[in-house]
Amino acid sequence: MGLRRLDLRGFSGDRRELTDLLPRPVDEQDRSSEAVAAIIAEVRADDDDALRRLTARFDHVDIDDLRVSPEEISAALARIPSELQQALDVAHDRILAYHAHEAGEAPEDFVSGGITVRHVLRPVARAGCYAPGGRARYPSTVLMCAVPAHVAGVEEIVLCVPPGPDGRIDDATLAAAAVAGVTEVYRVGGAQAIAAMAYGTESIAAVDVIVGPGNRYVAEAKRQVSGVVGVASAFAGPSEVVVIAGPDTPAEFAAIDLVVQAEHGPDGLAWLITWSEQKLEQVCAAVDRIVAASPRRADLEATLGAGGWAVLVDGPKQACAVSNVVAPEHLEILTKNAESLLAHIESAGAVFLGVNAPASVGDYLAGPNHVLPTNRTARFASALRVDDFRKHIHAVSMDDEALRTLGPHVVTLAQTEGLPAHAESVQLRWPT
């Protein structure tokens, strides 16, 4: 069949024009999304029985014990040829050395055994930022999304904001866009804004990364387009807080900070965790007083009624354990020994230590980003940061001696995997 030809002579160099000219990959996501959704639903419903049934259907083999025993793993290592074991050991050691180098504070270039790996950082070309609207305006979110993109070196920063009833975007939000160096602003919100930034429309060119919080529909839209574009900070959805309070915690402080997150709107989460029954009663009473006096009483009551909890535990360590399961967007440890409890925290978007550091400070000007993982995604995700707008490219070079020494291991691994062209690509270059 041969290679298909594409003549780009006379091309102007414009990125959007080139995107239109080049063949697009087949959108396998559309083709396979329903089938994958059905498989996921089947596994969630039937657990291991579903795994066995699906393995028989797709792999044509009946499996009883899904887990491979440690003895079987050890026996496999003993059975393989010595040259394959040596190749695996060499590859393992080199992969380990590189990633240990990458994780440390070593110089960027990794040099080992005649191979040099340079660490090259490149910003994405176009970033899409989403700032919520409707119930409130969020110029702070514009800053939080656009500033790290600018620091990363992104040239085109797009902002989508839901329009107000008059079809306009408020001045504070637009002013924040001007301050942060946003290059394009569009008056469109909701899941439709996420779709537009991911796939592109006549007015809005597609972006490479989408960031910013939103309601559950915005968060779900970001989840669905993930893979078409980069989606940072995992599931940045409705606001969440866990407040850990001890006997010494001022009840009013804990109460107002619970209400702060509920103020963001529906589907939020506000948890109080304490080992003092007296403190629990004091904080709950204070929350009731604050809500009753608020001009947004109905909204607060609805949010706290659905997502507000007061949890009594045995002690500080148990409080941290509960918080780790909740994996909240914001965690406030409002105790005198807050620093000592930090060692027990494993999952949280951001942690605020002591009574002088409420989450509101982090919302505006502490420095770190307030776009944080929600819906328990803090188990594996982090706050929005500069790296979310950058790509890490490793550039590898190799001298003759390295090719002579390491090449045989590449050939062994390639032949083991049944990839003869991989092996030949090294053998053709063999130093003579």
Are 244 and 341 spatial neighbours (Cβ–Cβ below 8 Å)?
A: yes
Per-residue burial over 157-187, b if 16 or more Cβ lie within 10 Å, else e, is bbbbbbeeeeeebbeebbebbeebebebbbe
Catalytic residue from among 240, 263, 329, 332: 329
| Alpha-carbon distances of 10 from 6, 14, 20, 22, 276, rounded to whole Å | 12, 11, 15, 14, 74
Q: Which residues on adjacent β-strands are paired with residue 273?
A: 244, 311
- CA gap 340, 338 in Å, rounded: 5
Query: Catalytic residue at 330?
Result: yes
- CA gap 182, 214 in Å, rounded: 19
Amino acid at 2: G
Let me know the angle formed at the C-alpha of 186 by 180 and 192, rounded to the nearest 5 degrees: 120
- CA gap 23, 40 in Å, rounded: 31
Nearest to 132 by CA among 266, 250, 42, 251: 266
Please tell me whether residue 123 adopts helix, strand or coil conformation. strand
> What order of strands is seen across the sheet that includes strand 390-398?
110-112, 115-123, 390-398
Written as six digits, the tokens of 131 are 């700032």
Written as six digits, the tokens of 141 are 């979110």
Helix (H) or strand (E) holding 59: helix 28-59
Are 378 and 346 spatial neighbours (Cβ–Cβ below 8 Å)?
A: no
- CA gap 207, 346 in Å, rounded: 33
Catalytic residue from among 101, 150, 264, 330: 330
The catalytic site residues sit at: 329-330
